[in-house]
Structure 1
């Protein structure tokens, strides 16, 4: 997990005086730490590569084990240990670093709200996640899942349930080492739309109110025009009567 420390062990109780310890990182095999048999001095190279290891490397003088502190996702990758002594020994460590997961948010899907619908449309959403899976559960059974690595968009997963559904639903965001869960409260989010606009999104509610207002204005205009027309006809008849 980001922020944790990880130690890559040499499995050596104590290094011998004629042993060289070399730690390399990445496809370029960049040297990041070593213990030299010539002067028995341990060294870390914090600026290689691109400074991502600055103030984060600790080398055990007795065993040669390497500790990476305050890890970020930039520290994921392959680390190679080379032990040069009486015999050449090498070992490769593959390190994965996962970002801390946000808590999923469950909301009513306002784009799919209708007073005549018998189902409640929901969305479970998270922002800025990668290498994680978003899933809907009914009890312990997975209903649907999605996994996309794009930090520029939100990750959303829809679900439709009946208003009177008694099942227990939850939305879970997980990666291989952690998870975050939000439980669905059907009574709060899935009250019926009949006779109310509160369950729909604010945009739809505004549109409905605007349409109602337009209908009302049109009705008033038609009534006023009808009244004026009738008055004009009555005035014409009165003038005609007076002329006679």
Structure 2
């Protein structure tokens, strides 16, 4: 008799752990995410979904009826699956990042679940720029084998991302940040005639962008590189010469004024002595 009573209770109440289950969810802005109860059917058990540190109720399901609460950031964005109680949020923004709590009243027991949701912005395509092309001292101007260039891979206004350089499928270097709205740059030194495939990759938990390096965009020879730098050097020399000439002109004017004043003082002294 006792065994029959125990078996009937086990059939009526599912074996569910009352400890809270924590689930991490990542989603991308503009998309959607679904939080699942894990049940095939909730029957008549009251179900509540709450959000944030204030545990604001956003929806309730009872006796097969859905009662959404009028919470501004979820308005026209909630989809509730009537049979399972699964919650879907659509057209999401960063405002929907936070803690979602599910509670199902099973009478003698409660099924609690906590979902930690993070909404990420899609990452931009990284930009590769040449930072400092240079020729090795052992190379001649007619050979490109000594040409090297330091490249920068950059992304602007990003957060929670990793920026990486790859050679083929091998990771060369990477940098990660958890801040919001920050700009990142990662250098890479390469040689012209390097036949390896290089790429810069930026990613977060929900999106990835890759920029492949076009080696032909670099100086093709050291002489090209020398020409590039000779133009820069010439401009710098002109600027320096102009500055030197300007300083010299000012100095000459000062000396001239001082000489005129000295002559005038000497002349006045002699005139006074004659009188």
Alignment TM-score > 0.5, same fold: yes
Deviations 1:157-201 (A, max 9, x none): 111112332221110111233311111111212434112249xxx
CA separation of 1:78/1:151 partners in 2, compared to 1, >3 Å: closer, same or farther? closer
Deviations 1:31-76 (A, max 9, x none): 1111235xx54222242xxx32222112223322211011223222
Asked if residue 88 in structure 1 is aligned to residue 88 in structure 2, the reply is no
Paired position in structure 2 for 1:135? 164
Residue correspondences, number:
205
Paired position in structure 2 for 1:100? 122
Asked if residue 78 in structure 1 is aligned to residue 99 in structure 2, the reply is yes
Paired position in structure 2 for 1:43? 67
Paired position in structure 2 for 1:30? 56
Q: Secondary structure at the match of 1:43?
A: strand
Greater helix proportion? 2
Report if the CA contact (8 A) 1:46-1:55 is conserved: no
Deviations 1:176-233 (A, max 9, x none): 33311111111212434112249xxxxx93x742523764996xx9xxxxxxxxxxxx
Q: CA RMSD in A?
A: 2.8
Report if the CA contact (8 A) 1:135-1:171 is conserved: yes
**Partners of 2:43 and 2:159 in 1: CA distance:** 43
Q: Secondary structure at the match of 2:173?
A: strand
Paired position in structure 2 for 1:15? 42
Greater strand proportion? 2
Report if the CA contact (8 A) 2:128-2:213 is conserved: yes
Greater Cα radius of gyration, structure 1 or 2: 2
Q: Map 1:192-207; keep pairs closer than 5 Å.
A: 192=222, 193-197=225-229, 205=232
**Partners of 1:208 and 1:98 in 2: CA distance:** 48
Paired position in structure 1 for 2:238? 212
Asked if residue 121 in structure 1 is aligned to residue 145 in structure 2, the reply is no
Q: Secondary structure at the match of 1:143?
A: strand
Q: Secondary structure at the match of 2:177?
A: coil
Report if the CA contact (8 A) 1:108-1:189 is conserved: yes
Asked if residue 157 in structure 1 is aligned to residue 186 in structure 2, the reply is yes
Deviations 1:113-151 (A, max 9, x none): 446674201100111211110000111111110112444
Report if the CA contact (8 A) 1:2-1:98 is conserved: yes
Give the TM-score taking structure 2 as reference length: 0.65
Q: Secondary structure at the match of 1:155?
A: strand
**Partners of 2:218 and 2:75 in 1: CA distance:** 48
Asked if residue 61 in structure 1 is aligned to residue 82 in structure 2, the reply is yes
Report if the CA contact (8 A) 1:46-1:57 is conserved: no
Paired position in structure 1 for 2:5? none
CA separation of 1:15/1:54 partners in 2, compared to 1, >3 Å: closer, same or farther? same
Q: Mark the runs of 5 or more structure 1 residues left unpaired by the alignment.
A: 199-203, 222-244
